[in-house]
Structure 1
Amino acid sequence: ATHGPNDRWNGCIEERDTYSSIEATTNAIPANAYDLDIDLIPSSKATRWRPYWQGVEYRRSGSLVSSSECPAPGRRLASYPTYDSSGTDSDGNVITGNLQTYINGLSPAGNTNHTIGMIWGARFLSGSGLFATENSKTKNGFNISRHLVFMTDGDLNVFHNRYNVYGYNELDGRLGPTWIGQTEYEKRQAQRFQLMCSAAKAKGITVWTIQFTASSTVGANLRNCASSPKHAAAATSNEALKSAFGNIAKTIGGLRLSK
């Protein structure tokens, strides 16, 4: 089986080296779990990222592996004066297109990996890591109050038999033995998420979680991630979602989101 001679890498990445024995009972990030080190600057093969490339991932039978989506490229944090006007990024560069067009272009999909969302949210916001040169201080030298708003439908959807940011576990075994089943794989991912929530909070980042779903009760996974029970909210409608963000904005003054 082939994916075609013209197949090219589409820009997504697999995470750097990790520790494959993190289980549901692991309560601290191991030293060699480089993917969970928020501030680690790449300096070796183990600490660098690798191409996420479905076209070169095959099962033993010769067929291509099933793949989760490669998402749209991340964007710098931006400011928009109105929803229908152009914005500016943190360096003052004009962003073409308005906020409404950008939002309309987003498309929901399954396979929600909370862990990788929290990893990159913390990386973007940390004042002492990969992006320290642009967000360690404000332009006038004041300290930055760091708030991470994590919104999801509350369901952690990760599959051990799909190619994702940690490879294809049935072949690569990056998050556990290649033979572990779906239940154990989800437990391990859920614990990785909690470890990252704790790491972000330990860096002084206030973590807010919003569960946008039919349930009016915030699930344990998101409730335990938040900085406190008051920092976790459930929204069952568009109006409730607006209210949740409004309450956060009132609390912290200026709202800066990390995607």
Structure 2
Amino acid sequence: MQAGVDAAALAGARSFEARGTGPESRDKQVLAYFRENFADDFLGAGTVLPVPTFSVVRGVNVTKVDASVNLPLTFMSMFGVGPQPIAVTATAELQPRPLEIMVVLDDTGSMQTLLDSGKSRMAVLKEAMHGFVNVLYQGSTTRSELALGMITYTVTTNVGGILTDAGVKIKTIDGYTNLNTHLKGKTGIGEEGLAWKGCVENDPTVRDLSASATTFETGATDVLRDIPADGVRPYLYPPSAETKNRKTNRTDAAYTTAAALPADYQPSNLQSETGDSRRNNMYRLTTDPDIAQALANTEAWKQHFFDYYRGLNEPSSDKDDDVIVHSVNDGYLNPQGSADYKIMYSRIPYINDNTAWAVANARYAYPLPTGTLNNLKMPSPNWQCPNPGMAVTYGRGKSAYDNFIDNDNFPLMPASGTLHHIGMLWGYRLLARDDLFPRTNPIPDQEPIRAIVFMTDGDTQAGGHNTWYGSYGRLAEKRITASTNANTFRNQVMYRFGKVCQKAKTERNPIKVYIVSLLDPEDVTENVFTACAGSNYLETTTTTQIIDAFRNIAVDLVQLHLTQ
């Protein structure tokens, strides 16, 4: 019977936050584990029911289980000896040990999809994450030996603030990260929305890596713990839009040599549209013509405008509408040649049409908490950039994580693909590189347990249009594969995810990896997830499964022991 209450107390402690009457509730778990170790009518004892008590003592969750019985003594009863009372008890509570966790959450637009409960995936994720944090904190509002970080991702991730605070070099992109040097002291010209919000692009790398998670190709820096010495590249979504020539019905014509007419660059969506299908990210480089002209010829924008508008230079018969001109005489420039060029900003089609172009949104961020002026309206160079993440830090109060879950975790609309690798890479680096992102272990004689908890609701996916952009740029840039096929691109992203995971698991202090998927992904993604996390890969489809998955992960990470 003592073994029964011991097992029951540990089970109740693991399920401390699971109130209710379901099979996973703490009361039912206590009963189930007691029954496994002390069967009904054992030695004629009849049915013995354990009595659990759940309390919080000095900020620590404490689970006590008592059981008692009047045990009949069959042989001794012949001598007049009656049943003997037996009582046992067990108490379980948290065993303090340093614990370092990085949580990586999918904030893509599909997180607004409704689940079986009628709640959105995001609403259920928030509920599950609150439960996860509750288990980690074990009833307390502070926990000195817990270091928890959180980042979110879409096609990029927002770690710029963490990197800057740690003194990690950020690459300078002339015209973007040093915008103020080009403004000539002017303000109120639509410059605020052009500022970098902190999202990053992937490291320079090599193309077409192998599917093997244990093979690390030379030059593939985007799967390593090391951060490039020349700095991290800021994320910059260029001014672009899905286009449609309404006369020729030519769609998505930008970036192609066939787009030879200004009308080919008419955005399919107006700036006033707010639906989930909108794809107009045409933002002006301020409202000052001279400053805009200068910015258009900086590193940040010049190559993009060349690629986007080169079709106007083919054929060469009509030169007056060319956005790209010869840098010396402003004359015709053959885009297939090697002559230096410049951008004529004033010639950009529809640049003065307020239905097609607008100043960049200076309030681009999640519209939380309720009442904030923040919004996800386009256009913005930060389009698809989620809110800033939190570094892995010891001693942070529980309320900070509750606030992050509520206010910095939101389905970013309109949806524009999902790139799992960028979230996994930076989750790994921020956790493993405690030399760059230092934290003070309050129990220095104990090595911390380290874990990454990665969550997604779908497959890696690039947008299916010419203007799609993510942390690896456009498909046409071929940064990670010589192919422009979306499936090949997806596979390359997932292969890199697998290699990052392998690096994490083989650290000197190995990192445990948990993956929670809110649906059954396609084969390549599922295979990589399974190889990465093994039995810690959890596929969920219902509200209950999602909540249980996060609670069980937290329980697995929390160190519990018997104190009585």
Does the 8 Å CA contact 1:9/1:52 hold for their aligned counterparts? no
- The residue that corresponds to 2:385 in the other structure is 70
Residue 100 of structure 1: CA displacement? Answer: 5.7
1:188 partnered with 2:188: no
Q: What per-residue deviation string (whole Å, max 9, x for no partner) do you get for residues 3-45 of structure 1?
A: x97362423222222112324468522232222211x14423x
Q: What per-residue deviation string (whole Å, max 9, x for no partner) do you get for residues 157-200 of structure 1?
A: 23485211122231x321122x5311211111111111111111
Distance, in Å, in 2 between the alignment partners of 1:224 and 1:163 is 29
Does the 8 Å CA contact 1:9/1:51 hold for their aligned counterparts? no
**Residues 25/76 of structure 1: CA separation in 2 closer, same or farther (3 Å cut):** closer
Aligned match of 1:219 in 501, 523, 526?
Answer: 526
Distance, in Å, in 1 between the alignment partners of 2:429 and 2:405 is 26
Q: What per-residue deviation string (whole Å, max 9, x for no partner) do you get for residues 128-166 of structure 1?
A: 5532x22xx612312110011111113112348521112
Does the 8 Å CA contact 2:418/2:460 hold for their aligned counterparts? yes
Does the 8 Å CA contact 2:223/2:497 hold for their aligned counterparts? no
- The residue that corresponds to 1:87 in the other structure is 400
Distance, in Å, in 1 between the alignment partners of 2:520 and 2:206 is 35
The letter of the residue matching 1:253 is V
Distance, in Å, in 1 between the alignment partners of 2:544 and 2:407 is 21
Residue 220 of structure 1: CA displacement? Answer: 2.3
Residue 238 of structure 1: CA displacement? Answer: 2.2
Equivalence map 1:156-171=2 (5 Å) = 156-159=460-463, 161=466, 162-170=468-476
TM-score, structure 2 as length reference: 0.36
Gaps of at least 5 residues in structure 1 are 89-96, 255-259
The letter of the residue matching 2:540 is A
- The residue that corresponds to 2:541 in the other structure is 236
1:60 partnered with 2:363: no
Structure 1 or 2: more strand by fraction: 2
Higher alpha-carbon Rg: 2
Aligned match of 1:10 in 172, 196, 207?
Answer: 196
Q: Secondary structure at the match of 1:151?
A: strand
Distance, in Å, in 2 between the alignment partners of 1:189 and 1:42 is 19
Distance, in Å, in 2 between the alignment partners of 1:202 and 1:168 is 32
The letter of the residue matching 1:34 is T
Does the 8 Å CA contact 1:67/1:164 hold for their aligned counterparts? no
**Residues 19/101 of structure 1: CA separation in 2 closer, same or farther (3 Å cut):** same
- The residue that corresponds to 1:92 in the other structure is none
**Residues 185/10 of structure 1: CA separation in 2 closer, same or farther (3 Å cut):** same
- The residue that corresponds to 1:257 in the other structure is none
Aligned-residue Cα RMSD (Å) equals 3.2
Residue 68 of structure 1: CA displacement? Answer: 6.3
Aligned match of 2:206 in 7, 19, 31?
Answer: 19
Gaps of at least 5 residues in structure 2 are 1-188, 239-300, 310-347, 349-378, 560-564
Q: Secondary structure at the match of 1:60?
A: helix
- The residue that corresponds to 2:21 in the other structure is none
Distance, in Å, in 1 between the alignment partners of 2:484 and 2:206 is 15
Distance, in Å, in 2 between the alignment partners of 1:98 and 1:5 is 31
The letter of the residue matching 2:229 is S
Does the 8 Å CA contact 1:14/1:165 hold for their aligned counterparts? yes
Distance, in Å, in 1 between the alignment partners of 2:431 and 2:512 is 11
- The residue that corresponds to 1:115 in the other structure is 421
**Residues 130/52 of structure 1: CA separation in 2 closer, same or farther (3 Å cut):** same
